[in-house]
Amino acid sequence: MGIISVEHTGQLYWLGRYSERVYTTLKLFADRFDSMLDLDSDEYEEFCVRQEIPNIYTSKEDFASRYCFDEADPNSIYSNLIRAYDNAIVLREKIGSMALSYIQLAVYAMNKAKESPAPLLELQHVRDNIVAFWGIVDDSVDDEHVRSLIKFGKRVERIDLYARMRMNQHELKREVARLNFRIERTGLSYSRKKLAHINYLVEDAPLSYKELVEEIESLQEC
């Protein structure tokens, strides 16, 4: 196992979180946008409330454009992808040029989608590159500690997003089970009491999504 500084530990964790945030919000956005086409509704307002992001959008078209691509909006998928890149770029010697290249490709794909007449099609390439990034981390990063920190960030982010979006309990139970497995491999200190409570919450009915978000956000502060 190599040596890892506090700085790199945080960067690996946040690389996991932001890559997951891009991947999952792209999926959530695509599903939501698709349903808005038929219903002619403004479902994006509810989306903003659940995500706890300010509703700065004037219409569903504006939402579709700015939530995906607005560089000036700190909550846009674009901004989250740049944060993933900012963490990845300083981790080349930990994750390798090959893994880093998929985050770089996701940025290029995002820029291409922004200019495309069919952005939803192009955004698929962003997701593909994120998946490839995770795959290469699994396949070629030898240091288990490095892998686990990225995956830990990914699990935390997914539970957070799923809980905010009131995803079904079965999916949350599965993600929490993965978190239990991963957190021990990070070597990080965390609140065992909070983890036990998270496990309890996903078994409880009805599930308290709000409490779950609070607990997962404070499980580990990197």
Q: Which spans of this chain sit near another protein (rule: CB under 8 A)?
A: 2-9, 86, 89-90, 92-93, 96-97, 100-101, 104-105, 108, 187-188
183 vs 207 by CB, closer to another protein: 183
The alpha carbon of 221 is separated from its chain's Cα centroid by a whole number of angstroms, namely 16
Q: Which is nearer to another protein, 41 or 140 (CB)?
A: 140
For residue 185, count other CB atoms closer than 10 A to its CB. Answer: 14
Spell out the residues 6+ positions from residue 43 whose beta carbon is closer than 8 angstroms to its own: 32, 35, 36, 60
- Closest contact distance (angstroms) between CB of 142 and another protein is 11
Q: Cα 220 to chain center, whole Å?
A: 16
Q: Shortest approach of another protein to residue 94 CB, angstroms? A: 8
Q: Shortest distance, CB of residue 10 to another protein, whole angstroms?
A: 9
Smallest distance, another protein to C-beta of residue 189, A: 9
Q: Which residue is associated with the tokens 């995906």?
A: 68
Nearest-angstrom CA–CA distance, 29 and 138: 27
Reply yes or no: is the peptide bond before residue 206 cis, omega within 30 of 0.
Answer: yes
Give Cβ neighbours of residue 207 (< 8 Å, ≥ 6 apart). Answer: 169, 172, 201
75 or 101: whose CB is closer to another protein?
101
Is 220 within 8 Å of 153 (Cβ atoms)?
A: no
Please identify, using beta-carbon distances, which residue of 105 and 120 lies nearer to another protein: 105
Identity of residue 51: Q
User: Which single residue is written with the structure tokens 């989306």?
Assistant: 47
Closest approach of Cβ 57 to another protein, in Å? 28
* Cβ closest to another protein, residue 120 vs residue 188: 188
- For residue 90, the minimal CB distance to another protein (Å) is 5
Instruction: Closer to another protein by CB, 191 or 208: give it.
Output: 191
Q: Cβ-count burial of 78 within 10 angstroms (0-12 exposed, 13-18 middle, 19+ buried)?
A: buried
